[in-house]
Amino acid sequence: MITYLRWRDASYIERQYRVCDLLERLVLAETVGTFVEETDEFVVVALDCFPSEQRGDEVEYRRIAFVPKSCIERRVDFEVPPLVGRLVGGNGGL
């Protein structure tokens, strides 16, 4: 499954601000990746997934993002059929 997340990330401000100003300074972020897992606190997605490296039930993931659920403004999940063993295009590439 591919997961799209729109979420607010922390930012760093060197000057003094009022609390209401700080809330407006959170950075809007968008992350798209292979869904790894969901806990009570986080949605975990991987930017790189290597199903061909799968050992048993474990898939190799790299560049993993742990996005706090409390920061997520929007989430969309997309079901995508597995690519393992399927060739796309005439040159044999995926």
Closest alpha carbon to 47 in 59, 32, 57: 32
How far is CA 9 from each of CA 1, 12, 46, 69, rounded to the nearest angstrom? 23, 10, 17, 11
Q: Which residue range is the domain that position 65 belongs to?
A: 2-78
Measured in degrees and rounded to the nearest 5, phi and psi for residue 70 equal: -65, -15
Question: Is residue 91, in this structure, part of any structural domain at all?
Answer: no
Question: Is residue 67, in this structure, part of any structural domain at all?
Answer: yes
Question: Is residue 55, in this structure, part of any structural domain at all?
Answer: yes
Digit-coded pLDDT (tens) for 26-51: 788 999 999 999 999 999 999 988 76
Digit-coded pLDDT (tens) for 60-91: 888 999 999 999 999 999 998 766 555 555 55
Question: Is residue 42, in this structure, part of any structural domain at all?
Answer: yes
Question: Is residue 86, in this structure, part of any structural domain at all?
Answer: no
Q: Domain total for the chain? A: 1
DSSP state letter for 88: -
pTM given for the model: 0.69
Q: What angle do CA 41, 45, 51 make, to 5 degrees?
A: 135
Question: Is residue 24, in this structure, part of any structural domain at all?
Answer: yes
Question: Is residue 61, in this structure, part of any structural domain at all?
Answer: yes
Question: Is residue 72, in this structure, part of any structural domain at all?
Answer: yes
